[in-house]
Structure 1
Amino acid sequence: MTDAKADATEDRPEIGTGVVDLLGVLAYGELSAFDRLAEDARTAPTLSGRVALASMAAAEMGHYGLLERYLAERGVSVEEAMRPFMRHIDAFQESTAPRTWLESLVKAYVVDNLAADLYRELAEVLDEEPRELVTTVLADTGHSAFAQREVAAAIENDAPVRDRLALWSRRLLGEALTQAQYVVAESDGLAELIVAGTGDLSGIAALFRKLQKQHTKRMQALGLG
């Protein structure tokens, strides 16, 4: 490390385990979202759909870069910050591989919004700078509106497709909440953020009930309630 880089790092305050863990799980989530969207773009039934998802994938990598830079400036390797969360996120992705274009859209819609709900709640107790970073990274890349349009058009006059996607969304919710609970349970840093925000670990159950309610509202808006 050069003297200039060393001085820049020394000027930055140290960050706690909770912040490192939250930014680490966010970074791996962004990297996984890029992989998923890039793959979905290749299977898009229209050129406009391919362009839309490719653009969203690029935005996810932009968010990843913000997290990597923030951590590096504070002497933290993004790879090390992500490592504890890879197993559970990879397991979720493998167990919920979509079979169709519409299943891909619903999966991204469900998972991205659930993750955003959870991480925004955890970020509430952070200092202003990392909280604003989390808010920026969780900004919608346009996927929600795109998924709503595509799914709404597909299910408008097709009850079997609507019912199949509704079942798929419920499965995704169950799998996502299970993996999220594993992630929180195995991360002292994330557990500390929940305790800081709710007062004790009993707040975890209340938080996940809140996530389920928000999910239900979104599914109703999507026409899959």
Structure 2
Amino acid sequence: MEQQEDRFADPAYRAAVVDLLGTLAYGELSAFLRLSTDADLAPRLSAKAAVAALAATEYAHYDRLRARIVEIGADPEAAMAPFVEALDGFHERTKPSSWLEGLVKFYVGDGIASDFYREITTYLDPDTRDLVLGTLESDKRSSYVLQEVRQAISDDPIQGSRLALWARRLVGEALSQGQRVAADRDTFSTLLTGTSEHPGMGLAGIVSMFSRITEQHTRRMAEMGLKA
């Protein structure tokens, strides 16, 4: 506990954690709102219920993140505000036109974001790391999406080509957004590049990080039955 308190005594570290939790919180809130809307596109009642459950999970994550922001003495709305434009812009540019496109977007976007945040957790205090990793748990979400997409491609192989093109567009937008956020926010740069007291991954490490994220995306595409 003493070590954790020492980390938060550093204004730069505290600001970085507030930014990290702020962007995560708005991402979860945004996912909740969009999944709630996407449920209307579901072709079956069981599918509507499954997506509603996914939305509920996202909101629960948001609530935990919001509580942590308050716990460290910051305002949740102020913490989320710097990331609203970027995340809303991403969603505006990548509106799904079908139920399956919505599922692929959720799976691809969620996966890339989760990979990025997992990389950052290496440089966090234990409590914040555990909270962030807890919000990134996605086994149940991944299982449902994979089942739906694989079945759709099995029923209509042409869907596979269309969804692969859609996923490639999504990954380009998501990686560009992640790179912009990492570059625009000095706090993220501090976490990633490190300080004299708390070394980070450095600039070369950041390049390697985005390479690893791309490789993970390729793996997820294969799991869905899509070509990267």
Distance 2:145 2:202 in 1: 37
CA deviation profile, 1:147-192 (whole Å, cap 9, x unmatched): 1011101101423211000110111000100011111111111111
Equivalents in 1 of 2:129, 2:181: separation in Å? 20
* Matching residue within 213, 216, 220 for 1:214: 216
Equivalent residue runs for 1:92-111 within 5 Å: 92-111=90-109
Q: How does 1:63-78 map to 2 (within 5 A)?
A: 63-78=61-76
Q: Give 1:157-176 correspondences, 5 Å limit.
A: 157-176=155-174
Partner residue in 1 for 2:129: 131
The range that moved more, 62-71 or 141-150, is 141-150
Q: Which residue of 2 aligns with 1:4?
A: none
Contact residue 56 and residue 141 of structure 1 kept, 8 A: no
Question: 2:81 matched to which residue of 1?
Answer: 83
Aligned counterparts, 1:133-212, within 5 A: 133-140=131-138, 142-196=140-194, 198-212=200-214
Q: Which amino acid aligns with 1:174?
A: G
With the length of structure 1 as denominator, give the TM-score of the two structures: 0.91
Does the aligned pair in 1 maintain the 2:21–2:65 contact within 8 Å? yes
| Alignment check: 8 A CA contact 1:71 1:78 kept | yes
In structure 1, C-alpha distance between the alignment counterparts of 2:182 and 2:68, rounded to whole Å: 22
Structure 1 residue identity aligned to 2:218: T
Shift of 1:71: 1.1
Deviation at 1:46, TM superposition (A): 0.5
Unaligned runs of 5+ in 2: none
- Tell me the equivalent position of 1:58: 56
* Matches of 1:202 and 1:173, distance apart in 2: 22
C-alpha contact 2:123 2:200 (8 A) present in aligned 1? no
Partner of 2:23: 25
Structure 1 distance, partners of 2:71, 2:170, is 36
RMSD: 1.7
